[in-house]
């Protein structure tokens, strides 16, 4: 059986269940204890687990991320909540130079089961320093796992798995998703990393998206269905490790691919996925791969400009039409 | 009575011999290691701890199994004082599979996490939050372990120095921040890096019990550290200890250190930590020259054996590396 709950409640269930299961799981962050967090993810955890395992921190991101990494190295299972992904930039040394490299630098002996939970993306006028989608920065660094759940069920299952596996995890939530609802299975619900999910099966074109671009891409798929276009929507759920098999299997079936990301176009994960598809499935493509991405610009405050800066449903629909109306490569060559 | 009381308070032969053995072992490791570097057997960076031996020696003598340390980029001395196997240390510097990190880490990354050594670090200042994190993990696990970060004057101007110590303070962690003040950040004098060169005051400013000690006096460092460790185990941490010292040479083996004034260098060499540990053994315990030489020869032999062991060891294979790449 399943219950319909909000994304933020699913996250709380995951933390709660894992804290119950493993006494070394603890959580630190700004305003997460008594206040329960800006998005109410940690509400109630202080009264259940006490101030030893649920702690507020000063505003000191480099320090708190570093302390989380150190605690993980020493055998605990920290969750460090960073209010905005933009603020994680203050702790990049600890993520990039310490957490990601420790396993290699110790010849495999040292592991860093560190989970950084944070949220990104545009959220209706919070401007340039509170709206970024920065997954590509972490995707680029060997040694980090990058998780971007789009639904309550995925959020819960992936966070539970994050707290059981041995490597540093960048668990990237989206500020627009916290109050969205979805069905979450009852009982133990754990989702292994590297397993994508087909959010909508289809046969004409493969749409690959993650995080808040999933609801938008599903909406685009419904509009395309009205035009007779049957789109398959794939959510990799974890960008590292990436479920290449699922992506390539879908492209082999549809022969067309559109990748949608909220992050800026330049140097993005979409470009890397496009490169993987062209390298491994070039002869199965009937059209050039399309990327729908954010503009190469910081996010403006003005709401219309914010909307213009990141992909909207219309942008996805247009990209799919272009893909379908372009001639198959074999014909074009003739 | 007075003589008896003095004798009762005098440090034991066991302690003084331990301090000398550790300090001398570091001295041999660094001096002989530099020779291996010059011969091209060791590549990359090599930051010697020469002149600073008294600090790691005194600090680690006050710790016990189950405790944790985090080190600096000048980390060989901390590893040795912590009780690391010289064979595996030399093997790491020679990039061999038998090294602490199987040749993946090298001088700046020697760690032995199984023994509570979080490792040296190539990023100046990074050991501070990592050490505080280990102390936090131990508090959450509910054990009485003490964690020490060896930090430096160079690292003290990094933001995480304050952020981490402040977290340790608000959470009452069993944590000792040892600031090795060797008075240079690479080549920049401390007077150019900060207005007040007494770094222990940084701790006082945020309500942390803080002390200053002569880092070239391993016995004084030990006594101060023993007190700090006892307080931490009673839940009265964290504590900051600033240990003043001076390098015997430049920042790394290829830095001639011309910016270090000759008279200052001479001043500190007259107060050499290894000589002082040796003299204490002679003067307080009464060891004779032959006994001292026996200890020194034993330590030199241990290093030579470690070099032979390392030379005979194999390197990691590309096939093994590829397995790692797949898993990473």
* Averaged pLDDT for residues B114-138: 96
pLDDT on residue B327 = 87
Peptide bond into B238 cis (omega under 30): yes
pLDDT-derived band at A331 (thresholds 50, 70, 90) equals low
State the nearest Cα–Cα gap between A111 and chain B, in angstroms.
9
Rounded to whole angstroms, the Cα distance separating A139 from A145 reads 8
Average pLDDT value for chain B: 95
A330 vs A289 pLDDT, higher one: A289
Q: State the nearest Cα–Cα gap between A58 and chain B, in angstroms.
A: 8
What is the SS3 assignment for chain A?
CEEEEEHHHHHHHHHHHHHHHCCCEEEEECCCCCCCCCCCCCCCHHHHHCCCCEEECCCCHHHHHHHHHHHHHCCCEEEEEECCHHHHHHHHHHHHHHHCCHHHHCCCCCCCCCEEEEEECCCCCCCCCCCCCCHHHHHCCCCCEEECCCCHHHHHHHHHHHCCCCCCEEEEEECCCCCCEEEEECCCCCCCCCCCEEEECCCCEEEECCCCHHHHHHHHHHHHHHCCCCEEEEECCEEECCCHHHHHHHHHHHCCEEEEEEEECCCCHHHHHHHHHHHHHHHHCCCCCEEEEECCCCCCCCHHHHHHHCCCHHHHHHHHHHHHHCCCHHHHHC
pLDDT of A118-138, one tens digit each? 999 998 899 999 999 999 999
- H-only helix segments in chain B: 2-9, 13-38, 53-61, 76-81, 86-93, 127-141, 159-170, 190-193, 200-205, 218-233, 262-270, 273-280, 289-312, 318-327
Mean of the per-residue pLDDT values for chain A? 96
**Which residues in chain A have Cβ-Cβ distances shorter than 8 Å to B131?**
70
Q: Give the predicted TM-score (pTM) of the model.
A: 0.95
With CB atoms and an 8 Å threshold, state whether A104 touches B104: yes
- Does residue A35 have a pLDDT over 80? yes
Q: Which residues of A touch B136 (CB under 8 A)?
A: 67, 70-71, 76, 78
Mean pLDDT confidence for B290-313: 98
Confidence of residue B2 (pLDDT cuts 50, 70, 90): very low
Query: What mean pLDDT is predicted for residues A190-195?
Result: 98
The ipTM value here is: 0.95
> Looking at residue B4, what is its pLDDT?
47
Task: Decide if pLDDT at A334 tops 90.
Answer: no
Is A189 labeled as catalytic in the residue annotation? no
CATH number of the domain at B2-327, out of 3.90.25.10, 3.40.50.970, 2.130.10.10, 3.40.50.2300?
Answer: 3.40.50.970
| Residue A227 Cα distances to A157, A219, A220, A224, A323, angstroms | 35, 13, 11, 5, 14
A128 to chain B, closest Cα gap in Å? 24
Is B22 within 8 Å of B296 (Cβ atoms)?
no
- Where residue B16 falls among pLDDT bands split at 50, 70, 90? very high
Sketch out chain A's domains with CATH numbers.
2-185 (3.40.50.970), 197-326 (3.40.50.920)
pLDDT for A123 equals: 86
Instruction: Read off the pLDDT of residues A298-329 as tens digits, 9 standing for 90 and up.
Output: 999 999 999 999 999 999 999 999 999 865 54
Please report the pLDDT score of residue A326 as a whole number: 66
Q: What does the pLDDT read at residue B5? A: 46
B166–A60 CB contact, under 8 Å: yes
Residue A53: list chain B partners with CB under 8 A: 140
Q: What is the pLDDT of residue B82?
A: 97
- Which pLDDT belongs to residue B3? 46
CB contact under 8 A, A70 and B123: no
Mean pLDDT of the A180-200 span? 98
Q: Is residue A156 less than 8 Å (CB to CB) from chain B?
A: no
List the single residue in B with minimal CA-CA distance to A52. Answer: B140
Summarised one tens digit per residue, pLDDT across range B79-113 is 999 999 999 999 999 999 999 999 999 999 999 98
Q: Do A64 and B328 touch (CB under 8 A)?
A: no
Chain A contact for B100, CB < 8 A? yes
Asked if the model's pLDDT at residue A51 lies above 50, the reply is yes
Helices (H) and strands (E) in chain B, counts: 14, 7
Q: How far is B128 from chain A (nearest CA, A)?
A: 8
The pLDDT score that the predictor gives to residue B8 is 56
CB < 8 Å to B162, chain A: 63
Q: Per-residue pLDDT tens for A141-188? A: 999 999 999 999 999 999 999 999 999 999 999 999 999 999 999 999
Supply the pLDDT for residue A327.
55
Task: Specify the pLDDT at position A41.
Answer: 98
A194 and chain B in contact, CB less than 8 A:
no
For residue A144, give the chain B residue with the closest CA: B328
Check CB contact of B70 with chain A, cutoff 8 Å: yes
CA distance A310 to chain B (A): 32
pLDDT digits (tens, 9 = 90+) for B159-198: 999 999 999 999 999 999 999 999 999 999 999 999 999 9
Q: Which two tokens stand for residue A291?
A: 């990327």
* CB within 8 Å: A75 and B141: yes
Task: Inform me whether the pLDDT recorded for B40 exceeds 50.
Answer: yes
Q: Does A97 touch chain B (CB under 8 A)?
A: yes
With the C-alpha atoms ordered A176, A179, A182, A183, is the resulting torsion angle positive or negative? positive
Choose the mutation target among B109, B111, B113, B133 for the interface with A, i.e. most A CBs under 10 Å.
Answer: B133
Contacts of A142 in chain B (CB under 8 A): 328
Share of chain A above pLDDT 90, in %: 96
Give A98 or B113, the one with higher predicted confidence: A98
- Are B129 and A109 a contacting pair at CB < 8 A? no
């Amino acid at each position: 059986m399943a219950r319909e709950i909000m994304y933020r409640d699913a996250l709380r269930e995951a933390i709660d269940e894992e804290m119950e299961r493993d006494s070394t799981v603890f959580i630190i962050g700004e305003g997460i204890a008594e206040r329960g967090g800006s998005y109410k993810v940690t509400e109630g955890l202080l009264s259940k687990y006490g101030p030893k395992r649920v702690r507020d921190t000063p505003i000191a991101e480099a320090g708190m991320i570093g302390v989380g990494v150190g605690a993980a190295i020493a055998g605990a299972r920290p969750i460090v909540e960073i209010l905005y992904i933009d603020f994680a930039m203050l702790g990049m040394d600890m993520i990039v130079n310490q957490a990601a490299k420790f396993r290699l630098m110790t010849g495999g002996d040292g592991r860093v089961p560190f989970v950084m939970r944070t949220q990104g993306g545009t959220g209706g006028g919070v401007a340039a320093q509170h709206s970024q989608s920065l997954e590509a920065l972490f995707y680029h660094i060997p040694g980090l796992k990058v998780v971007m759940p789009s639904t309550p069920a995925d959020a819960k299952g992936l966070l539970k798995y994050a707290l059981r596996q041995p490597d540093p995890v960048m668990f990237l939530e989206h500020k627009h998703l916290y109050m969205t609802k979805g069905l979450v299975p009852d009982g133990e619900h754990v989702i292994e990393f590297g397993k994508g999910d087909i959010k909508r099966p289809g046969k004409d074109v493969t749409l690959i998206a993650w995080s808040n671009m999933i609801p938008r891409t599903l909406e685009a798929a419904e509009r395309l269905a009205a035009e007779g276009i049957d789109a398959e929507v794939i959510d990799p759920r974890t960008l590292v490790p990436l479920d290449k098999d699922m992506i390539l299997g879908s492209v082999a079936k549809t022969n067309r691919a559109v990748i949608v990301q909220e992050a800026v176009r330049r140097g993005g994960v979409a470009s890397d996925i496009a490169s993987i598809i062209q390298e491994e499935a070039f002869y199965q493509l009937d059209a050039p791969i399309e990327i729908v991405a954010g503009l190469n610009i910081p996010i403006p405050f003005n709401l219309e400009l914010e909307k213009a800066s990141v992909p909207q449903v219309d942008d996805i629909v247009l990209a799919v039409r272009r893909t379908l109306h372009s001639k198959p490569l074999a014909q074009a060559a003739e | 009575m007075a003589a008896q009381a003095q004798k009762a308070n005098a440090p034991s032969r066991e302690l003084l011999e331990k301090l000398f053995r550790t300090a001398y072992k570091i001295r041999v490791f660094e001096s002989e290691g530099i020779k291996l570097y010059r011969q091209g057997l060791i590549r990359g960076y090599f930051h010697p701890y020469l002149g600073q031996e008294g600090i790691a020696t005194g600090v680690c003598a006050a710790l016990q199994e189950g405790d944790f340390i985090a080190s600096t980029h000048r980390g060989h001395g901390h590893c040795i004082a912590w009780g690391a196997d010289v064979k595996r240390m030399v093997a790491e510097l020679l990039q061999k599979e038998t090294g602490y990190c199987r040749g993946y880490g090298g001088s700046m990354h020697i760690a032995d996490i199984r023994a509570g050594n979080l490792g040296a670090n190539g990023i100046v200042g990074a050991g501070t939050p990592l050490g505080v994190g280990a102390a936090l993990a131990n508090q959450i696990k509910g054990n009485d372990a003490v964690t020490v970060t060896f930090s430096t004057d160079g690292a003290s101007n990094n933001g995480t120095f304050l952020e981490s110590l402040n977290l340790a303070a608000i959470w009452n962690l069993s944590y000792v921040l040892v600031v090795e003040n060797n008075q240079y950040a690479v080549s920049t004098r401390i007077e150019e890096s900060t207005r007040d060169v007494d770094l222990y005051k940084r701790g006082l400013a945020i309500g942390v019990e803080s002390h200053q000690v002569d880092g070239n006096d391993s016995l004084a460092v030990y006594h101060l550290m023993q007190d700090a460790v006892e307080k931490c185990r009673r839940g009265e941490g964290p504590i900051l200890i600033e240990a003043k010292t001076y390098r015997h040479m430049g920042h790394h083996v290829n830095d001639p250190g011309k910016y270090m004034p000759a008279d200052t260098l001479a001043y500190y060499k007259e107060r050499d930590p290894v000589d002082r540990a040796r003299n204490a053994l002679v003067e307080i315990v009464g060891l004779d020259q032959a006994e001292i030489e026996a200890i020194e020869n034993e330590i030199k032999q241990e290093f030579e054996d470690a070099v032979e062991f390392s030379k005979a060891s194999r390197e990691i294979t590309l096939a093994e590396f590829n397995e790692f790449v797949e898993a990473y």
